[in-house]
Chains A and B, each alone.
Chain A
Amino acid sequence: MTVQQLKDHLSLTALTLPDGEREIRGVYVGDLLSWVMGRARADDVWLTIMSNLNIVAVATLADVSCIILCEGMTLEESVRSIAEAKGVNILTTEAPAYETAKRLSEFGL
């Protein structure tokens, strides 16, 4: 499944979507950035409530397919534009991480 398809299936809001054709292979949930870098795998969807600029670097370096900001978290415009420029997909949802993860599992992730 691609990030674009995931967005459509789960009715997520795209804050940035520079690479909607990126394939998704798994899911990781976490807010401690070093923990995420240590444990998330390449091409995972990353569920978090963190929204500061460092998530853009973490997503780039850990090579995740997209970030889903849960609980209605959103981005400052300065962060959003950097994420867009660096090719990092960031989506947002009102649902908590657990609910979001349950829905992802319905799609075989």
Chain B
Amino acid sequence: MNEAVRFHFVVDGEDFTSAGQASVQVKKNLRRLGIPPEIIRKISIAMYEGEINMVIHADGGEADVLVYEDRIVMILTDRGPGIADVEKAMQEGFSTAPDNVRTLGFGAGMGLPNMKRYTDDMKIESVVGEGTTITMTVLLA
């Protein structure tokens, strides 16, 4: 396996309106690498949902995107409150987002389901009180 191209981002937890900077940058970087547009669309949407989640729930976090020859892996890590019931969190429409986030059009309980929808594999590792790591893979077939 060739060494991956790696992009690293710090997601700022303070500023809700600037969320998306990492996703938009990933989109640009992948376009430069010649990744097909439909794949880029999937990755950037999944990444943006993850970024928004980190800003809403975890006061920010870090994101790594690894580009291999046959797949792209996104690893999102935060030191937030953790997810108590992952199965429930994966249900469309279930949300613990506060009201101020809802008035901006988020908090519909679609973030994690969208991340799953747009990726080929998604793994959630979460410990209540410690944080959450989400690993998503999109195949380049």
Contact = CB atoms under 8 A, between A and B. Distances in A.
Interface stretch (A5-13, A58-66, A89-97, A101-109): A58-66
Q: Which interface residue of A37, A52, A63 has the most chain B CB atoms within 10 A?
A: A37
Q: Which interface residue of A32, A34, A55, A62 has the most chain B CB atoms within 10 A?
A: A34
Contacts of B99: none
B105 A38 contact: no
B: contact size bracket: 20 to 34
A57 B24 contact: yes
B110 A34 contact: yes
Nearest to A33: B105
A15 interface: no
Contacts, number: 67
B67 to A, nearest CB: 18
A86 B38 CA distance: 19
Nearest to A49: B105
A: contact size bracket: 20 to 34
Tell me if B's interface is mostly helix, strand, loop or mixed: helix
A39 B49 CA distance: 14
Interface string B108-133: 10110110010000000000000000
Interface stretch (B40-48, B71-79, B83-91): B40-48
Interface in A34-64: 34-35, 37-38, 42, 50, 52-55, 57-58, 60-63
B41 A38 contact: no
A61 B113 CA distance: 17
A29 to B, nearest CB: 13
B106 interface: yes
B111 A60 contact: no
A32 B117 contact: no
B1 interface: no
Given A62-B45, A63-B37, A38 B104 contact: no
Interface of A: 31-35, 37-38, 42, 50, 52-55, 57-58, 60-63, 86
Given A37-B110, A50-B105, 11 more contacts: A34-B52, A34-B114, A38-B113, A38-B117, A54-B16, A54-B20, A54-B105, A57-B20, A60-B24, A61-B41, A63-B37
